[in-house]
């Protein structure tokens, strides 16, 4: 493969005396889905929080497109084109989908020198982004977000991340955890769409079925370390499970 789009090298993160990550490497390419799997406490969340600028690494460096980068905050990471969709989705349920999609980043128009929210344009943009990038059409854009299904809410949260034109790496934390089978299938389809558009998608999941269905490579974390990266096509559930629980090492 070519040069990875995003690369983490020798990342170590300590919280006081606890070492959450020890010398972890990670590479993700444009147009691929990299799954990160591992048991609870394996350091998956810490790793992506370092990647998205929420935490700063104790040691190690990160490269984006071959250039060394460091993020002081989550906003820095977003500005560089790395964003995340959280498990909780971070949606305000009482606002409509358009308001949620532009939350914190509203479109305005100026009337007599006073900036006002441009609700009309935000709505048409939401419709466009949902349709063009995700292939999702909501029944009604007027209803509050709480009335949408789990998958639709997910779509709105993803749309918020992909609306940023410079987005290159999208991290998704357990996107299918709270979804039924049908919604899960739809979300996996969304991930395929994003991949086809040339994004590097990093997917954290506990569900190996989903991981095998959608990912290109699987990065396995165990006790704060990377214990292996396998090509999904050349691997199977057995091997990955073995890596997760550490059976391979013992054997």
Partner 1 sequence: MSTETTDVPLREKLEPYIAIIGPMVMILAIILFMLAVEPARYFRLSNMNLILLDAALYMPMAMAMTFVITQRGIDLSIGSIAALSGIIMAFLIKQYGFSVYIAVPIALLLGALMGLINGLIITRFQVPDLIGTLAMDLVYRGLALVLAKGLVLARFPDLLTDIGRGQIPGFIPIPVVIGIATMIAGYWLLTRTYFGRYTIAIGSNPEAAELTGISVNRHKLYAYVLCGTCAALGGILLTGKLNAIQATSAPYFNLHVIAAVVVGGTSLFGGRASMLGSFAGVLLLSMMVNALVTLRMEFFWQSVASGVVIVSSVALYTWMQQKDRDGAGGWLAALATPDGQKTLRFSAAIIGLLIALLALGGIFAGDPNPSG
Footprint of partner 1 (CB under 8 A) = 74-75, 86, 88-95, 99, 103-106, 116-117, 119, 142, 160
Smaller CB separation from partner 1, 122 or 240: 122
Smaller CB separation from partner 1, 56 or 105: 105
Question: What is the DSSP track for the chain?
Answer: ----SEEEEEEEEEETTEEEEEEEEEEE-TT-EEEEEE-TTSSHHHHHHHHTTSS--SEEEEEETTEEE--SSHHHHHHTTEEEE-TTTT--TTS-HHHHHTTTS--EEEETTEEEE-HHHHHHHHHHHHHHHH----S-SSS-GGGS-HHHHHHHHHHHHHHSTT--EEEEESTTTT--HHHHHHHHHHHHHHHHTT-EEEEE-S-HHHHHHH-SEEEEEETTEEEEEEEGGG--HHHHHHHHHTHHHH-
Q: How far is the CB of 150 from partner 1 (least distance, A)?
A: 15
Q: How far is the CB of 84 from partner 1 (least distance, A)?
A: 9
Q: How far is the CB of 91 from partner 1 (least distance, A)?
A: 6
Smaller CB separation from partner 1, 116 or 131: 116
Smaller CB separation from partner 1, 6 or 85: 85
Q: How far is the CB of 26 from partner 1 (least distance, A)?
A: 23
């Amino acid at each position: 493969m070519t040069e990875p789009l995003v690369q983490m090298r020798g990342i170590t993160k300590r919280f006081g005396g606890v070492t959450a990550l020890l010398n972890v490497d990670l590479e993700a390419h444009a147009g691929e889905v990299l799954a990160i799997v591992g048991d609870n406490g394996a350091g998956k969340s810490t790793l992506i929080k370092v990647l998205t600028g929420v935490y700063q690494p104790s040691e190690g460096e990160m490269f984006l497109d071959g250039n060394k980068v460091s993020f002081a905050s989550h906003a820095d990471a977003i500005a560089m084109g790395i964003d995340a969709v959280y498990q909780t989705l971070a949606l305000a349920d009482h606002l409509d989908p358009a308001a949620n999609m532009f939350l914190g980043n509203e479109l305005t128009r100026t009337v007599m020198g006073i900036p006002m929210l441009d609700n009309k344009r935000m709505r048409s943009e939401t419709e466009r982004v949902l349709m063009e990038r995700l292939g999702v059409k909501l029944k009604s854009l007027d209803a509050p977000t709480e009335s949408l299904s789990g998958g639709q809410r997910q779509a709105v949260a993803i749309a918020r991340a992909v609306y940023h034109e410079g987005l290159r790496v999208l991290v998704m934390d357990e996107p299918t955890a709270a979804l039924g089978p049908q919604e899960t299938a739809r979300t996996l389809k969304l991930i395929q769409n994003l991949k086809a558009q040339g994004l590097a998608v990093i997917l954290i999941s506990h569900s190996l079925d989903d991981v095998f269905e959608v990912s290109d490579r699987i990065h396995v974390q165990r006790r704060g370390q990377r214990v292996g990266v396998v090509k999904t096509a050349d691997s199977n559930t057995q091997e990955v499970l073995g890596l997760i629980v550490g059976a391979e090492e013992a054997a």
